[in-house]
Amino acid sequence: MFCKSLTKYNRHKTNVVNVGNVPLGGSNPIRTQSMINVATTDIDKAVEQCKKIAKAGADYVRATVQGKPEAESMKIIREKLNHEKINIPLIADVHFNPQVAKIVAQYVEKVRINPGNFIDKKHNSNKILDENEYNAELQRLRNEFVSLIDICKQHKTALRIGVNHGSLSEKITNRYGDTPTGMVESAMEFLRICKHEKFEDIVVSMKSSNTRVMVYAYRLLAEKMNAEKMNFPLHIGVTETGDGEDGRIKSAAGIGTLLADGLGDTIRVSLTEAPENEIPVAKKIVDYFVNRQKHDAVPDIDAEKYSPYEYKQRKTTAVNGFGGDNQIAVVADLSHINPVYDKDFENLGFVKDNKKWIKTDNSPDAVYTGSSLFDATTQGITILSDESENIIHCNISFFNDDFIAWLTKNPDNILMIESNNTNAVAELRACFLMLENANVKNPVIIRRIYDDKGIESLQIKAACDFGALLIDGFGDAVCLQNTKSESKNLTKICFSILQATRVRFSKTEFIACPSCGRTLFDIQKTLTEIKNKTSHLKHLKIAVMGCIVNGIGEMADADYGYVGAGAGKISLYKNKELVKRNIPQANAVNELVALIKDDGRWIE
């Protein structure tokens, strides 16, 4: 199993890696970082961005390093920051060029390389290498990689083996497919060399813009490393999350799921915004898990039916629009408004306050009236229902043998489960596993109640909690309540969480990278322009990518892609197919709109 326990929160045991004067892994705090988005050769601007990121509270700052000029620039940036007594460790992000990695490793505290393009080149071949050919490629990799390890050892430079779902090597995809398993094997090729060379200053990442792929890949990696007695720290992140609420929710859903598992030693929130904006979001995610190990006990559950490495939605019986083949629903408390006159709620189900709910005692067989079963806390609650629905509101204390037996005989009842445990994810997951083990098919509404003044904090907490369960295939509906928020905001957050976890799409999906020194256009401005023109196309996924490094792969399931191709030039993709090359940037957004219209997919 990828973690020690599904019911007790424990940080995954990892080695300590020294990244300059800020170690990570082991018992160190979970570290945060961001990445400058200006050219590394523009030294003054790069230094200023590093300072802003450091001032925001980041532990590390990263910069893209494309060639030798950028590598030499990193030396000067380090010197200038040191002169101003800013000792934040620098990380160089290198793609395609091992020689550049070897140069810059002498100047910075950490180097990130991408196994997908470290030495492998794309040949667009579908050939699956036989064992001799595959081993020959591994030997070629070893020869190049060991020389980089030697330089890192000499200069006490850490390395990140940074796998991206969008840029796996051809030899990996031909053998394993574009899958979490392929991502893990891509990293393991490099990690085995590091272990053989006794080089321990290694951090690993498994990033994807798809939260499910990302979560499953990290879990598989943790299991694989455990099996091979490796304890390398994990860098956690979701790529290309976009901006605003969606970027924050998507990041929290993916990162929070893994932190809830105890996985993760450093995180990066990738927003298509100013780099320093990422740090407060990252810190709020990390802070949500501080002291979680002190949570109330959760019963140990047989997890034989748990599927942590693939999406497997829990099978339920359809009851009044919940469960079965129905879409994952959003349940809202609308008791303070009249939905008949509020257009935002015209298409929702009828709101009914069930006056029949009564309190008797705490035994499941006694807490009911008529055909409904409730606990004491349900008095006066308002949910989307009508008088014929039977909604059982309960927590894990109800899940005894008698209650489970009652449910098996009453499949037309809907459960609404909640938890006040600090480790609510584990407790709610335990409820689902109890239902699975007993083959109970009743639909389940997951309910969470918060007391947050800040909308961003609420978005993050809700995405961490709901996201972890939805990514595991648990839940037929979500019900979010907050003592200090309006229902309209809560409903919007819920639909964003469903979309971030890919269980229900209700609006245009934008896959947008945060930009870096490789990006040769204003991606923030461009994303805003594309959103303004296409947000009404709720049936589409549109990718906005700064360059081609991860572009094709990360936007693999996008309907259309807008990708930087060079200075002032954009290429447009339809699915993975390049359809328009090197369009002048001034015309590119209109060309994207025209492409969608030509395909007959535009809606006025």
Q: Does residue 345 lie in a domain region? A: yes
**Number of residues in the chain:** 604
Which amino acid is present at 365? D
Which amino acid is present at 492? K
pLDDT tens digits, 55-109: 999 999 999 999 999 999 999 999 999 999 999 999 999 999 999 999 999 999 9
Residues 148, 170, single domain; the answer is yes
Structure tokens of 157?
């430079």
3-class SS at 596?
helix
Cα–Cα distance between 339 and 236 in angstroms, integer? 41
pLDDT at 151: 98
CA distances from 19 to 61, 155, 568 (A): 11, 11, 37
Residues 61, 111, single domain; the answer is no
Spell out a b/e string for 59-92, using b for 16 or more CB atoms within 10 Å of the CB, else e: bbbbbbbbbeebbebbeebbebbeeeeeebbbbb
Q: How far is C-alpha 53 from the chain's CA centre?
A: 22
Q: Does residue 127 lie in a domain region? A: yes
**Pick from 483, 500, 517: which residue ends a domain?**
500
pLDDT at 349: 46
Residue with tokens 């976009």: 242
Residues 239, 377, single domain; the answer is no
**Which domain does 167 fall in, by range?**
18-30+103-291
**Pick from 78, 102, 126: which residue ends a domain?**
102
Residues 397, 526, single domain; the answer is no
pLDDT at 10: 92
Cα–Cα distance between 54 and 397 in angstroms, integer? 46
Those residues of the chain that have pLDDT short of 70 are 121-124, 333-389, 485-488, 517, 548-554, 556
Cα–Cα distance between 20 and 155 in angstroms, integer? 11
Residues 342, 239, single domain; the answer is no
Structure tokens of 552?
């094709």
- Beta sheet of 158-164, edge-to-edge order: 202-207, 158-164, 110-113, 90-94, 60-64, 31-35, 266-267, 235-236
Q: How far apart are the first and last CA of the chain?
A: 50
Residues 413, 461, single domain; the answer is yes
Pair 221, 251: CB distance under 8 Å: no
Residue with tokens 């598989």: 220
pLDDT at 298: 93
Cα–Cα distance between 572 and 77 in angstroms, integer? 35
3-class SS at 19?
strand
Structure tokens of 549?
């490094």
Spell out a b/e string for 480-517, using b for 16 or more CB atoms within 10 Å of the CB, else e: bbbeebebeebbbbbbbbbbbbbbbeebbbbbbbbbbb
**Pick from 56, 74, 102: which residue ends a domain?**
102
Cα–Cα distance between 532 and 272 in angstroms, integer? 15
Q: Read off the CATH number of the domain in which 573 is found.
A: 3.30.413.10
Q: What is the largest distance, in Å, between two alpha-carbon atoms of the chain? A: 77
Cα–Cα distance between 186 and 142 in angstroms, integer? 13
Q: Look up residue 329 and give its DSSP letter.
A: E
3-class SS at 235?
strand
Cα–Cα distance between 430 and 436 in angstroms, integer? 10
Q: Does residue 321 lie in a domain region? A: no
Burial class (CB in 10 A: 0-12, 13-18, 19+), 547: buried
Spell out a b/e string for 158-177, using b for 16 or more CB atoms within 10 Å of the CB, else e: bbbbbbbbbbbbbbbbbebe
Residues 187, 90, single domain; the answer is no
* Backbone angle region of 588, left / alpha / beta, with phi > 0 → left and psi within -120 to 50 → alpha: alpha
Contacts of 531 (CB under 8 A, 6+ apart): 508, 510
- The number of domains in the chain is 4
pLDDT at 550: 57
Q: Does residue 604 lie in a domain region? A: no
pLDDT at 412: 86
Which amino acid is present at 486? E
Q: Does residue 533 lie in a domain region? A: yes
- pTM higher than 0.75, yes or no? yes
Residues 98, 112, single domain; the answer is no
3-class SS at 403?
helix
Residues 204, 242, single domain; the answer is yes
Pair 513, 572: CB distance under 8 Å: no
Residues 428, 550, single domain; the answer is no
Burial class (CB in 10 A: 0-12, 13-18, 19+), 245: middle
Cα–Cα distance between 12 and 5 in angstroms, integer? 10
Strand partners, 113: 94, 161
Q: Does residue 297 lie in a domain region? A: no
Pair 317, 435: CB distance under 8 Å: no
Q: Does residue 10 lie in a domain region? A: no
Interstrand relation of 329-331 and 477-482 (parallel, antiparallel or unpaired): parallel
Backbone dihedral angles phi then psi of residue 110, each to the nearest 5 degrees? -155, 145
Residues 170, 224, single domain; the answer is yes
CA distances from 201 to 14, 89, 98 (A): 11, 14, 18
DSSP 433-478: HHHHHTT----EEEEEEE--S-HHHHHHHHHHHHHHHHHTT--SEE
pLDDT at 581: 86
Handedness of CA 267, 270, 276, 279 (dihedral sign): negative
Q: Does residue 322 lie in a domain region? A: no
Strand partners, 435: none
Q: Look up residue 488 and give its DSSP letter.
A: H
Q: For 242, how many CA atoms within 13 A lie in the half-sphere containing its CB?
A: 23
CA distances from 264 to 29, 155, 167, 172 (A): 10, 26, 22, 25
Residues 89, 111, single domain; the answer is no
